[in-house]
Structure 1
Amino acid sequence: MSKINTKKIQRPKDLPFSNTILDRLRKQCEIGLPEISEMEFLQTSSQTKFLTNRYQCSTLFQQELDLLKKRPYLVSFSDQVPNPGDFISGKFLDREWLVLRNENKNLRLYRNSCLHRGTRLVSRGKTGSAKKIVCPYHSWTYDLNGDLLTKGCETIQEKLYSFPVLEKAGLIFSGFTENVLDSLSSLWEEWKVYELDSYIPFAIQSEEGAYNWKIGVEIFLESYHISTVHKNSVASVVEKNVSIMDPIGEHARILIPNRSYKNTSRPTRKDLIITYFLFPSTILILFRDHFGIIQFQPISPDRTFCLRAILIPEKPKSSRTMRFWEENREFFFRTTSEDLGLAPEIQTGVLQNEWIQPSSLEPGIFHFHNSLTNAFI
């Protein structure tokens, strides 16, 4: 991760953590290992073995799809629709969506389907700006609030189907059901300290991979692998094998200290890599002056769509700051590619066995699967 004097664009570096949390992390720096979890679930459960059919079972996969429809998902980025009339379309699972900003600069997210014959209103992935939404089939026309403007249409509904939508940290979240976004509220108080709302995407990548979506998530829920998988990248920056994990409801926070951490009495963002797990399939990684976002979207039991992006405080204003962010972009995508490149190998290897056994040094994995189990109840 590159360093530069970015004084003008840096946000506050204070941390929203108690001294107890910071002292726990300092203790693990001295021990040189991830914190062994004291979660009640691990203390009372003998189910530390995972049957590997959870990574290939079609029945369970359908249950997981149903669960994902009941939780928030990342739709887009605020900077992609900054002005009234701006829109972008996309897809999550089997739902085509259209997000736009209306005349009052409020976000709206609609089902990308005309009320007439169901035609997709905007081609998937298309962006642009418009004063009205016009169906390409029969020209049924809607305003930016989703109201049908075309007169004399025979329809039982005169407004596009809409879904809840929320902007936080330069990100746009939505969900398929009412009140679905409430499940993220436990994270907002911590995020306020970071002042991320004005951040913009500097680079976005997406790809499909031959692995179960849960394997993708699991990779980012533990630090135990860093000294091996990232020996030529992240391992040179952070304390070897050190981290602590705390559940936040279904979500979680993982703190990994940089090597500067143990030498300061008052650590700030530059001394930590802070990972937030947004259950069930989104990872936010906060660095000293930017952050990355990773979201996994299941396609089939053994195939997953992955979205990655890096967000920065503001658009680069000089060639020097452009080089700085390019170097950080390269580092983020290179290191996360080291993880994702291993995912198909994990998928193939996992299915050779009846079960696997994560260690107590990987509590994030247990928390993830325990949250999945509880969500199915």
Structure 2
Amino acid sequence: MNPHLKNSIHCLLRFRCFLDKCLLQALHTTVMTRSSMPGALYGAFEEFLSFLDGRAAVANNINMDKYCNLPGMISVREDKYKKETVLFSVNRRHLDYLSFKPERRQEQKVDKGGDQAVKETQSPKLLEVSEIYKPSIHVNPIFASVGADTGKLYSALEASDVVFKYIEKGNLVKPMSKSIVVLDPTLCDALFKGAIKKGSAYPTEIHKKDLGSTFVSRMQAHHIVTRGSESVVRKGSVRTIQILTERRQGNKKVTKLSGMETFLMDADALASELQKKFACSTSVTELPGKKGHEVLIQGGVIDDLGRHLVEQYGVPKRYIEILDKTKNKMQLSIFGEEYP
């Protein structure tokens, strides 16, 4: 391949990766509802991407998913009245969205007096949670082939970049269909060895939109939790906080909280704080057969407690499970799905 052409392709891939990160940053920090990204702005972004691809900048004929390596994360629709392409929905449970850690914004310092300063010093430290992955024996050959460190921990986006570098290096994109990747023996084993039922044929190709998630699923899941200067890396996926409300002694309600240690929260200190906040009695007990504690709160404070963990301690809503046993129809759900 011509060195200049190869360098241009490499630059374009890096730039598209940068655009992916910009989009993820916006989805985390700015785009909270479908009205947060105006159609005109969205169309301008499409037009800009069309320019990068060297084609006519006609926004109405461009599909955003074709340019971002984040399929399945966003969906768009055309506004029939304004004739604009509008961001319609965001899949905030997408693997790349969950694993992305947004950049912190610099906040302007405003002098609000001594009371505000005391309040800031007493507030819990900022929490950051990231899902990361370690190469396994299945995918090690892919990492080694592109010179990537097999002992390092990767975000889902970084891991996807590795496998896409591999297909670029091996020229594995199907010539007649650019969205299809032809599987060579090494890539096929990395994705499917041990996962295919005995007697079934191995796939010979895979769609690009499925490649990244399939590749990441073959890696060892880890997560890193950071609160202030304290940081811990654990194996496995992030364990959720459980909040349960049930009735005791007739019509009295109690609320149980467990799993707070995952997010570097001390059970005793939290129980003392909740006692003052909800003006009720609390107690702490060790969970039988498990590492960790359970905080028992007198009263049905399931929603207030969940909101407190989100607003005061920065726990993402997707990591809080609630179970209300006091309702006729008992259902386990993720906290805040019905809240804005």
TM-score range, shorter chain: under 0.3
TM-score by length of 1: 0.23
The structure with the greater share of residues assigned to helix is 2
| Greater Rg by CA | 2
TM-score by length of 2: 0.24
